[in-house]
Homo-oligomer: A and B are copies of this chain.
Amino acid sequence: MDFITILGLLAATLTTLSFLPQLLKTWQSKSAKDVSFIMLITFNLGVFIWLIYGIYLQALPIILANGVTLFFNIIILWLKIKYR
Question: Which A residues form the contact surface with B (CB < 8 A)?
Answer: 4, 7-8, 10-19, 21-22, 24-26, 29, 31-36, 38-40, 42-43, 45-47, 49-50, 52-53, 56-57
Contacts and interface: CB of A to CB of B under 8 A. Distances in A.
Given A4-B56, A15-B43, A57-B4, A21 B49 contact: no
A49 B31 CA distance: 31
A18 B35 contact: no
A46 B4 contact: no
Contact of A4 (B8, B36, B53): B53
A46 B16 CA distance: 9
Nearest to A3: B56
Nearest to A37: B21
B4 A49 contact: no
B49 A14 contact: yes
